[in-house]
Structures are given as structure tokens and as C-alpha cells.
Amino acid sequence: RVKCARQAVLRDTSAATMQPWVAACVMLALAGCAVASPMPHRATSRFNFQDSAPFSDSDIKTMMGYFLNNINIGGQGGVVASPDTTVPGGGSYYYHWMRDGALSMRTVWSYNNSIPNALDLMKSYVGFVTRNQMDRDPNNIDPRGEPKFLLPNGEIDPQPWCRPQNDGAAIRATTLMIFAHDLISLGYIDYVRQYLWTGSSSYNGGAIKYDLDYVTTAWYANTCDLWEEVQSTDFFWTRFNARRAMFMGAQFASMMGDVQSANRYTQAGNNIGFMDYHYNGQFVYESTNRQKDAAVIIAFNKGYNNDGIYSPLDGRVASTITTFSQLFNSTFPINGQDSNRGIPGILYGRYEGDTYSGGNPWILITGSLAELYYRSAAAAAASKSLPSKEFMEHLEAQMQMHGLRGDLTTPLGVASALTDLGDGVLTRIRYHTIGAGLHLWEQLDKYTGYEASAYDLTWSYSSVLDALTARASIADAAGVARYADM
């Protein structure tokens, strides 16, 4: 691939329909790939929330195809993390990781209107889960704390690994509850009672209940981190996802008539608490032994319980983005190079001091940043008042960092600015992946921006697709706000 060609192959190459900064970038590329001057300030105040996303419908279809190739392996319901079996420094990724699989299937179900066989894929996944849960563990731990499973049949991986990993059960239960709620609304409660919440000893009480029961004590136990490298009893990622699972589980248990379980889950959620202590005045830290870790960025999206605790418009969330943007902007040379070329956005890595496979930016984390920006934009668009002073100060700092200007005097103006920030992030991902036909790898080289490490990483696709779903919700939120004012 010719690196400079990427600058010309943006989503829409018609100069008549381009934003001015995009047209300028393309013209520079076509003129011989000259290095563009720093990105000019772009107004955001006139943003139309129905404008086209950084990825076209054709792009999304392409990525969705690659994503679905990694789902329901062998028809047994498993999700392969990546088909790559020779990752430098990482070996084979041809396994089903509990957390990756659960988040990926959450993405599958969120696109059920455009994936014709989404229901069948989810049912196959449920079968995979129930087999996992009842399997005899060769590592002498509870199968619900296992990190990964063999494909296609789902046997527990017996090889030495960082165990236990107590985030998986909460994430999996949350995915299955989202699925179960929709099934019940569609009239499929018999399926839910047969496999997901049986009210008996069948399937250990059901796939959802069995996972939730594990979380009631696992949330405070020693566990490995998201990246499978360090251990702690207090990872923000693990506890925040557990908190959502417990409160969501309490509501679901009540709906299923299980008051006793509902009370236990509510108590566990209350014990986890508001987690205010994880904010140190500058950023939300992952753990005392791994503080600046972008796992918290993903947690803000996947663990949020819609109750205002670390909400998308929380000043602490905005402060964390500012801190991490400064970190990764200075850590990765490619970020400076892209900005000098006029490519908007920023690429995020895992944590401060990461060295795995070169210590590069990760697509799945960068996509999560875009999702967080879009969720913030939707929340602002639906609001009748401006966010807090702390949030606004950090929004202004981030806009300045990315060369943006806009009207921040109204909620819709704030939503516009946040959408533009998210669009910049996805535009940068697209810029570095279009040359490979939108195959999304695990990482992007911190010096060149080329794809690196594991190819066709399922979580990378899931992250970008989730961000696009969040972007699509902004127009609806803005429409609701306008209707309420009429």
C-alpha cells in the first residue's frame, strides 16, 4: 500500500460535498502527498446531526462482513478474538475470550435490524455460554472466572494464564439481559425461562442468574486486569461493569419474580457504591498499580448504568479524556504527524508505559473514545441546560487541542462540538485502515500508522460499530429536545 494515497481516499472524494478541510487535505494528497499545514479551525455551530458519518454505508457493510466472519465459529456460538494464530509477542488469538465475546455479541444484537440472522446468532451464543458454565474446570477455579475457551466447541483452555478474570461474568450477564429484555417484549419469554432464568436448578438457574450470582462476591475478589497483565482487588473496569450488572440484575430478577435474588443484587450494587474515590482530581484511575489506563474509557461506555454515576457529561469523565489525550498525543509520534497533515482526531493506546507488541495505539480503545464523545453529544442534545463548568472547561481544552471552534452557549452547540470531536477520531481510524480495505487490526504502529499486531480483531470492529450506533442516536436526542420545547 502507498501511505500517501490514504490521504486521498477519504469517504467522499467529491469536492462539492466535502467539508473544506477535507477537500484541502485531498487536494494536497493528489498533488503529490505534500505535508499539509496544521489543521485549520473548523466551525461546529452549524452542524447538522443527520450529516453523514465518517464511515459510509458501504464502509459499514464491509466492516460488518469482516466482523460477522468471526462470530458463531463452527456454528457452535463462539466468537474468535482474531483468526491470527501468529501474533508477534502474543501467539495465537484463536480463542473465545469471555469479555470480548460478550461485548461483540452485544454489538451483534444492537444491529439486529440489519443482521438478518441476529436472533439465531444470539441463541447459538447462549448455547455456547451454558456449555461453558457447566464445564468441569481443569484449572481448579470457577469456570465463570475463566478468561478464554477453545474453539469451536468451547472447552476451557487448560494452558497457564492470568486467572481469574472476574469482569467477564458481569459483562456477559449484561449482554444476555439486554437480549432477554428484547425477547420478552417480543413474546419469547418461554425461551428466557428455559435458558436464561429458569427458576429452577436447570442450567444452574439460567445463564443470566448463574453469572450474576458469581458477581455478587467476585466484584471485590483479587482478579487480573482487562489486559491480563497485573492483578488487584479494585480495578475500575471490573467494578464499574459489576455495578451495572448488579443493579440491572436486580431489576431483571424482580421482573422474573425472584425477589430474593433482586435484594442480593441490589445490596451488592450498593456495596460497590459510587466509586468516587477512583477520581484523583485529574482523572479516573484504573487501579493503584496501573493508574493511567484507558480501560476506564471503555468502562465509561460499557459499565454505565444510566444513573448519573460517571455519566457522559460528568466533569470527571471529561477531565479523564483531557488527561489521556495529552498522554497519548505526546506518547505516539503518529498523532503529531497526522495533525500536521490535517487529519483530525487522535489515537489512544492502552496505558502509560505500555510496551506490548511495540506499545502502539489500539483501534478498539480509540473507537471507544469516539463512542464516548457521541454518547456525550446525545446527552447534551437531549438536555435543556449546559453541562457543568468543569465539563465545559475540559471540552474547550479538547477543542483547542484539536483545532476546533464553535458556539458553546447552547446545549445543541455543545452537542455539535462533541460530535465533531467524535467524527475526528473515527476519521483518523478510517485514514489508517482504508488502505487495507478497512480490515481492522488490533493496533496501529505508533510511528507509521500502519496496522500492527493481530489482524481482523473482533473487538476492534465491535468498538467502531458501537461508536457509529452511538452517533446515530444524536439526531434522535436532538429531535426529542426540540419537540419538548414546542
For residues 405 and 41, the answer to whether their CB atoms sit within 8 Å is yes
What is the pLDDT at residue 481? 53
Q: How many CB atoms lie within 10 A of CB 135?
A: 15
What is the pLDDT at residue 52? 79
Q: What phi, psi does 367 have (nearest 5°)? A: -60, -35
Instruction: Check whether 18 has a pLDDT greater than 90.
Output: no
Q: What average pLDDT is seen over the chain?
A: 90
Helix (H) or strand (E) holding 99, with range, is: helix 98-110
What is the pLDDT at residue 484? 54
137: left (phi over 0), alpha (psi -120 to 50) or beta: beta
Kindly state the average pLDDT of the residues 130-149: 97
Which residue carries 507488541 as its cell? 357
Percent of the chain scoring above 70 in pLDDT: 88
**Amino acid in the structure at residue 209:** K
Q: Quote the CA–CA distance of 328 and 484 in Å, as a whole number.
A: 40
Which residue carries 440484575 as its cell? 249
Task: Write the CA distances from 317 to 154, 296, 301, 321, 410, integer angstroms.
Answer: 37, 9, 11, 6, 20
Burial of 116 (0-12, 13-18, 19+ CB in 10 A): exposed
Q: List b or e across 319-337, with b for residues whose CB sees 16 or more CB atoms inside 10 angstroms.
A: bbbbbbbebbbebbebbee
H-only helix segments in 186-258: 189-191, 207-218, 236-255
For residues 450 and 355, the answer to whether their CB atoms sit within 8 Å is no
Instruction: Check whether 28 has a pLDDT greater than 70.
Output: no
Q: What phi, psi does 148 have (nearest 5°)? A: -150, 160
**pLDDT tens digits, residue range 50-103?**
677 899 999 999 999 999 999 999 999 999 999 999 999 999 999 999 999 999
Which of these, 318, 327, 326, 273, lies nearest to 297 by C-alpha position?
Answer: 318
Instruction: Check whether 37 has a pLDDT greater than 60.
Output: no
Burial of 392 (0-12, 13-18, 19+ CB in 10 A): middle
Instruction: Check whether 280 has a pLDDT greater than 80.
Output: yes
Cell of 67: 466482523
Q: Let me know how many helices (H) and strands (E) the chain has, helices first.
A: 16, 10
